[in-house]
């Protein structure tokens, strides 16, 4: 069956055309398709679906099969960095599909592989000199874990509360965003030690102690975890989101980074940055580690590097992490599909020739003025955190106790959706992830809708 609703002219990106709602979602066609899906799909999939079915996308507009047009601040879970439907990214991929179809790039190399690896290394921190290929972010993390363990001969890996690394058995257990993601799996995939992330809004620690590392999280690791429980000689390294994304845009304080780098150096631990979501410009620099000048031993990429056109993942490594052995099998058949390499090369061209990062910084500045004032206006907004096009609103039942307010967040997200704003409410915060090229005026529209939604919910609950 071919899609029916995507008719008429091209989807308009005019500021008054996005969003535009014809019916409250789900409209009749969406309802029918979702009911059919509920009858035939795994219920865990259908339970998480938005209440509409997508017909087509362009830029930051998503049209459903009932003709509703939404303003998209999810951006394919940050996998569509430059807006949807860009011919300059799609055409090179289509050409390579015609020329190659797929080839298993672990056996037969395409002529796109060398240029893509070289261009990734050219924009990555100088510590990174080698590349391994992956299909997506999850696979990149799986590979990085194998390499860390092989390169050091040690098995334990330190990871952080609040972080998300994927949903395969190993990445789900490496992550610790919500306990249900790893439920039933931890005993199958041991070897991860979780410690608090340096989360300024919800830190379990006070200030760094006098004479300590300069950071309270690292003081705790040194004074408690490594003193009482963990022999550092058993630890291969640390995997960290440089800024936590899905878990609510948690931005470590500046003192954290030198203290972590020093701890790794002292014990010979490898530092692996998970830049699957924060990489490719999302936080205002090409990679989030650049905000602190950190040179990791490994860096995992995914999502945005395929330009929102094709799946692609990569692990970049230092000589120590990746250079000295060749006996760890990695990857899978579709990794670095030639068409995906072409989309990635075109995406890198766009970053090189267009003012993408400038626009991210303009959106960041505007968001600080608009989203940033929500805590003053609404006591239910406990915190707003912004780094480039990573934006999170944390709802609380009580400002003092910071008790989370998931029902309120859900109610606000529903009101936003009815008004045509799409953002991510699947986590403990309401996350807005605009396309990196979205105009500031569209962000203004999104924030105005969010404010209307909060007011609508508060009007229903006068006690707050
Ligand atoms: C930080 C981070 N790492 C890894 C992954 C896994 O990437 P993927 O789901 O594209 O395989 C994600 C996905 O959201 C992520 O946000």
Is 138 close to ligand 1, i.e. is its CB under 6 Å away? yes
Model confidence over 303-323: pLDDT tens digits?
Answer: 999 999 999 999 999 999 999
Q: Is the CB of 137 under 6 A from ligand 1?
A: yes
Does the beta carbon of 276 sit less than 6 angstroms from any atom of ligand 1? yes
**Is the CB of residue 434 less than 8 Å from the CB of residue 84?**
no
Q: Could you identify the atom of ligand 1 that is nearest to the CA of residue 302? A: 10
Enumerate the domain spans of the chain: 28-37+71-78+356-460, 87-353
Secondary structure (3-state) at 300 = strand
Task: Ligand 1 pocket test: pick from 303, 312, 429 the residue with the most ligand atoms within 8 Å of its Cβ.
Answer: 303
Tell me which DSSP letter residue 225 carries: I
Cβ proximity of 240 and 221 under 8 Å: no
pLDDT (average), residues 341-346: 98
Q: What is the C-alpha to C-alpha distance for residues 66 and 86, in angstroms, rounded to an integer?
A: 24
Q: What are phi and psi of 237, to 5 degrees?
A: 165, -165
What is the 288 CA–ligand 1 centroid distance (Å)? 15
pLDDT-derived band at 463, boundaries 50, 70, 90? low
Task: List the residue whose alpha carbon is closest to atom 7 of ligand 1.
Answer: 137
Tell me how far apart the terminal alpha carbons of the chain are, to the nearest angstrom: 49
Kindly give the distance from the C-alpha atom of residue 246 to the centroid of ligand 1, in angstroms, as a whole number. 9
User: With a 6 A CB cut-off, is 279 part of the ligand 1 pocket?
Assistant: no
Q: Is the CB of 332 under 6 A from ligand 1?
A: no
**Measured from the CB, is residue 77 less than 6 Å from ligand 1?**
yes
Determine if ligand 1 sits within 6 Å of the CB of residue 344. Answer: no
Q: Ligand 1 in contact with 92 (CB < 6 A)? A: no
Q: Which atom of ligand 1 is nearest to the CA of 163?
A: 1
Report the mean per-residue pLDDT for the chain. 96
Q: What is the pLDDT of residue 33?
A: 98
Contact 139, 332 (CB under 8 A): yes
Cβ 106 vs Cβ 113: under 8 Å: no
Please give the distance, rounded to the nearest whole angstrom, from the Cα atom of residue 223 to the centre of ligand 1. Answer: 32
Mean pLDDT of 379-398: 98
15 pLDDT higher than 90: no
Question: For the packed helices 356-370 and 338-353, what is the interaxial angle rounded to 10 degrees?
Answer: 70
- Continuous H helices in 192-316: 216-220, 256-267
Categorize the per-residue pLDDT at 9 as very low, low, confident or very high, splitting at 50, 70 and 90: confident
Task: Say yes or no to pLDDT of 3 above 80.
Answer: no
Over range 224-240, report the average pLDDT.
Answer: 98
The CATH class of the 87-353 domain is alpha beta
Mean pLDDT score, 59-84: 98
In the DSSP assignment, the letter for residue 8 is: S
Given the candidates 3.30.200.20, 3.30.420.40, 3.30.70.20, 3.90.1150.10, the CATH classification of the domain at 28-37+71-78+356-460 is 3.90.1150.10
Please work out whether the CB of residue 125 comes within 6 Å of at least one atom of ligand 1. Answer: no
d(CA 197, CA 219): 12
Minimum CA distance residue for ligand 1 atom 8: 137
Please write the tens of the pLDDT for every residue from 422-450.
999 999 999 999 999 999 999 999 999 99
pLDDT tens for 157-173 read 999 999 999 999 999 99
Residue identifier of the C-alpha nearest atom 3 of ligand 1: 165
108 near 115, Cβ under 8 Å? Answer: no
Reported confidence tier of residue 4, pLDDT bands at 50, 70, 90: very low
Does the pLDDT at position 2 exceed 50? no
Q: Which of 74, 135, 136, 138 to mutate to test the pocket of ligand 1 (most atoms within 8 A of CB)?
A: 138
The per-residue DSSP string of 435-454 comes to -TT--HHHHHHHHHHHHHHH
Q: What is the mean pLDDT of residues 44-58?
A: 97
Look-up of token digits 């291969």: 236
Q: Are 147 and 321 in contact (CB under 8 A)?
A: yes
The contacts of residue 448 (CB under 8 Å, 6+ apart) are none
Q: How far is the CA of 234 from the centre of ligand 1 (A)?
A: 27
């Amino acid at each position: 069956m071919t899609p029916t609703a995507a008719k008429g002219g091209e989807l308009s990106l005019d500021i008054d055309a996005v969003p535009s709602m014809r019916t409250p979602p789900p409209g009749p066609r969406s309802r029918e398709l979702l009911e059919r899906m509920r009858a035939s799909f795994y219920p865990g999939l259908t339970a998480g679906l938005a209440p509409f079915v997508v017909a087509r996308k362009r830029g930051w507009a998503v049209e459903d099969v009932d003709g509703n047009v939404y303003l998209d601040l999810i951006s394919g879970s940050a996998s569509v960095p430059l807006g949807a439907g860009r011919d300059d990214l799609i055409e090179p991929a289509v050409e390579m599909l015609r020329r190659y179809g797929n080839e298993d790039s672990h056996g037969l190399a395409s002529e796109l592989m060398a240029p893509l690896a070289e261009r990734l290394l050219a924009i990555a921190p100088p510590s990174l000199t080698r590349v391994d290929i992956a299909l997506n972010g999850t696979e990149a993390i799986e590979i990085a874990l194998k390499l860390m363990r092989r390169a050091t001969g040690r098995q334990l890996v330190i990871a952080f509360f609040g972080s998300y690394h994927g949903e395969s058995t190993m990445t789900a257990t490496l992550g610790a965003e919500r306990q249900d993601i790893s439920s039933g799996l931890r005993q199958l995939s041991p070897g991860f030690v979780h410690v608090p992330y340096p989360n300024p809004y919800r830190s379990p620690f006070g200030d760094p102690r006098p004479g300590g590392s300069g950071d309270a999280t690292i003081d705790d690791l040194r004074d408690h975890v490594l003193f009482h429980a963990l022999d550092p000689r058993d630890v291969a390294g640390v995997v960290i989101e440089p800024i936590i994304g899905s878990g609510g845009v948690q931005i470590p304080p500046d003192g954290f980074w030198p203290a972590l780098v020093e701890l790794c150096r002292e014990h010979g631990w490898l530092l692996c940055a998970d830049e699957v979501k924060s990489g490719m410009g999302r936080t205002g620099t090409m990679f989030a580690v650049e905000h602190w000048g950190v040179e990791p031993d490994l860096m995992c990429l995914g999502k945005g590097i395929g330009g929102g056109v094709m799946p692609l993942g990569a692990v970049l490594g230092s000589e120590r992490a990746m250079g000295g052995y060749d006996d760890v099998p990695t990857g899978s058949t579709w990794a670095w599909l030639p068409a995906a390499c072409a989309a990635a090369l075109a995406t890198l061209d766009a970053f090189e020739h267009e003012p993408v990062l400038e626009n991210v910084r303009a959106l960041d500045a505007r968001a600080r003025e608009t989203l940033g004032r929500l805590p003053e206006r609404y006591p239910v907004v406990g915190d707003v955190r912004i780094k480039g096009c990573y934006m999170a609103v944390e709802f609380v039942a009580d400002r003092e106790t910071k008790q989370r307010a998931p029902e309120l967040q859900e109610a606000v997200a529903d009101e936003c959706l009815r008004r045509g704003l799409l953002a991510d409410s699947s986590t403990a915060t309401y996350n807005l992830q605009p396309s990196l090229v979205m105009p500031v005026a569209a962000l203004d529209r999104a924030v105005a809708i969010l404010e209307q939604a909060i007011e609508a919910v508060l009007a229903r609950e006068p006690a707050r």
